[in-house]
């Protein structure tokens, strides 16, 4: 393979990391049509999404260590081929049972993208460089989160629900070609030893016992939880509680995601000057300030779009400063286990998101306060964790 520049490799990494958005958000507008066309219940269609998410989260824990032993490139090539075939199976599924099986296969293949994509960044860059690259990658992730549901809606309206899965299959084929043509093997020293459960458990326990990983991962995931509380509960808060239209909701949701995109990109540019510690502290402080301001403000005044969205925008800005640097920081001290660290961080992200969604559902009382309260609790826990234990962690930059 001829030498490939960092821009091309970075573009491939971006496409790999945004695969969770493609696998979930692209199909959301198609779910009602799937139920009608396949004669399935709403619960059966929702199960395809739930199983996809669960399998995606768990299989990360296998693909990370596998990538540390077998390399990134070959595993990605195999996974993208399987993703394209599984997506085609989804598009041609004759029944909800076939679609469910196909979605499980799709999730198995898709989880390799972000896990190994993040590991490729750690393989190629020092911690400062990784923080810079992840800033750009997360900004692109936010843009994808805004645009992919719109694309899915257009595909469903124009061509039907199966078009969303044909689009996913095409995405898999493109990624397969790009990985094969542009992505060199970045793993320099494979981890020795067989892929045994005892060895995997030992590696994961070692990471969880190491402050360098646990403190930064917990901080990043909790601040993401503060943002995810808004993502999970925003439609209920804006449409059901405040009485605004779906179009207004789409606009205010886009505004908050723009805050995340803007500061994700800025964090990558600022890391050499400010360093990961200051950026994580800044992001956490903003998330804490925004979420607690939202709780206080909506306790003392009549809730409105302004009193809800303005504090959440501050949380989103803080999340943007933090997430990319938390990703880089969790893998910084473990270059030999970059895939394993990436996998565990990804699993913790999904676990946190699941808990936040459950908390929002349990606490929903017809007001905007549960969304803001869950967000504030996450932010408080994140800053307690970082404030009490972050001083003992080595982080990159000034």
Per DSSP, the residues of 79-90 read HHHHHHHHHHHH
Q: What angle in degrees, to the nearest 10, is found between the helix axes of 96-110 and 42-70?
A: 30
pLDDT at position 106 is 97
Please report whether residue 190 resides in a domain: no
351/242 same-domain check? yes
Does 268 reside within a domain?
yes
- 């803001």: which residue's tokens? 372
How many C-beta atoms lie closer than 10 Å to residue 366's C-beta? 9
Position 192 in a domain: no
Is 312 among the domain residues? yes
What's the pLDDT score for residue 250?
A: 83
Written as tens digits, the pLDDT of the chain (398 aa) is 555 667 788 889 999 999 988 888 888 788 889 999 999 888 898 889 889 999 999 999 999 999 999 999 999 999 999 999 999 999 999 999 999 999 999 999 999 999 999 999 999 998 889 999 999 999 999 999 889 888 988 999 899 999 999 999 999 999 999 999 999 999 988 887 667 788 888 999 999 999 989 999 999 999 999 999 998 888 888 888 899 887 888 888 899 999 999 999 999 999 989 989 999 999 999 999 999 999 999 999 999 999 999 999 999 999 999 999 999 999 988 888 999 999 999 999 999 998 998 888 888 888 999 999 999 999 999 999 999 988 878 876 65
Mark whether 236 and 301 lie in a shared domain: yes
Is residue 398 within 8 A of residue 275, CB to CB? The reply is yes
This model's pTM is above 0.85:
yes
Expressed in angstroms, the distance from the first to the final Cα of the chain is 37
- Position 181 scores a pLDDT of 93
CB neighbours of 357 closer than 8 A, spacing ≥ 6? 228, 232
Alpha helices, H only, the chain: 6-17, 19-24, 31-38, 42-70, 73-92, 96-110, 112-124, 127-159, 162-182, 197-209, 211-235, 246-300, 305-332, 338-363, 369-389
Q: Is residue 366 part of a domain?
A: yes
Same structural domain, 218 and 324: yes
The pLDDT assigned to 1 comes to: 52
CB 347 within 8 A of CB 219: no
DSSP tag of 192: P
Both 117 and 179 in a single domain? Answer: yes
Considering the domain architecture, whether residues 95 and 155 belong to the same structural domain is answered as yes
Residue 45 in domain: yes
- Per-residue pLDDT, 246: 79
Report the number of distinct structural domains present in the chain.
2
CA nearest to 341, candidates 192, 226, 191:
191
pLDDT of residue 266: 94
pLDDT at 330: 92
Which range marks the domain in which residue 372 is found?
A: 203-390
Do residue 93 and residue 165 come from a single domain? yes
Taking CA atoms, 138 is separated from 6, 43, 111, 357, in Å, by 17, 32, 17, 22
Same structural domain, 217 and 328:
yes
One domain, residues 62 and 120: yes
Count the neighbouring beta carbons within 10 Å of the beta carbon of residue 36: 11
Residues 6+ apart with CB under 8 A from 157: none
How many whole angstroms separate alpha carbon 146 and alpha carbon 258?
9
Distance CA 312, CA 335 (A): 35
Same domain, yes or no, for 152 and 270? no
The confidence score (pLDDT) of residue 4 equals 60
Q: Would residue 193 count as lying in a domain?
A: no
* 336 token code pair: 């030999």
**Do 215 and 101 reside in the same domain of the chain?**
no
Residues 152 and 244 in one domain: no
CB 127 within 8 A of CB 4: no
The CATH number assigned to the domain holding 127 equals 1.20.1250.20
Nearest CA to 64 among 175, 168, 223, 199?
199
Pair (372, 272) in one structural domain: yes
pLDDT at res. 200: 86
Q: Is residue 189 part of a domain?
A: no
């Amino acid at each position: 393979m001829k030498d490939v520049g960092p821009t091309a490799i970075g573009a491939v990494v971006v496409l790999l990391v945004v695969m969770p958005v493609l696998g979930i958000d692209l199909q959301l507008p198609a779910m009602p049509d799937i139920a009608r066309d396949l004669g399935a219940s709403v619960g059966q269609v929702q199960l395809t999404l739930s199983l996809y998410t669960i399998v995606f989260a768990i299989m990360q824990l296998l693909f990370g260590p596998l990538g540390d032993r077998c390399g990134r490139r070959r595993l990605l090539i195999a996974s993208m081929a399987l993703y394209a075939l599984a997506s085609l199976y989804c598009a041609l599924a004759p029944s909800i049972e076939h679609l469910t099986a196909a979605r499980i296969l799709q999730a198995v293949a898709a989880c390799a993208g972000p896990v190994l994509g993040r590991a490729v960044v750690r393989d190629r860059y020092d911690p400062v460089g990784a923080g810079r690259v992840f800033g750009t990658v997360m900004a692109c992730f936010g843009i994808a989160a805004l645009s992919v549901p719109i694309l899915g809606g257009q595909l469903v309206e124009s061509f039907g629900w199966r078009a969303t899965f044909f689009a996913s299959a095409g995405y898999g084929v493109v990624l397969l070609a790009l990985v094969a043509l542009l992505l060199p093997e970045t793993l320099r020293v494979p981890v020795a030893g067989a892929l045994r459960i005892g060895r995997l458990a030992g590696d994961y326990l070692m990471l969880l016992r190491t402050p360098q990983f646990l403190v930064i991962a917990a901080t990043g995931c909790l601040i993401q939880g503060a943002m995810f509380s808004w993502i999970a509960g925003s439609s209920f808060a804006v449409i059901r509680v405040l009485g605004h239209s779906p179009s207004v909701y789409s606009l205010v949701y886009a505004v908050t995601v723009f805050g995340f995109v803007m500061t994700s990109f800025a964090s990558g540019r600022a890391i050499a000057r400010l360093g990961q510690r200051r950026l994580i502290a800044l992001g956490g402080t903003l998330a804490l300030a925004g979420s607690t301001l939202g709780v206080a403000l909506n306790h003392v005044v009549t809730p409105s779009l302004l009193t809800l969205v303005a504090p959440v925008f501050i949380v989103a800005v803080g999340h943007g400063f933090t997430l990319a640097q938390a990703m880089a920081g969790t893998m910084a001290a473990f270059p030999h286990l970059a895939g394993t660290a990436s996998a565990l961080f990804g699993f913790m992200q999904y676990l946190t998101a699941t808990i936040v969604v459950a908390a929002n559902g349990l606490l929903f009382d017809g007001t905007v306060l549960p969304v803001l309260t869950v967000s504030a609790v996450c932010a408080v826990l994140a800053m307690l964790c970082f404030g009490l234990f972050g001083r003992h962690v080595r982080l990159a930059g000034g």
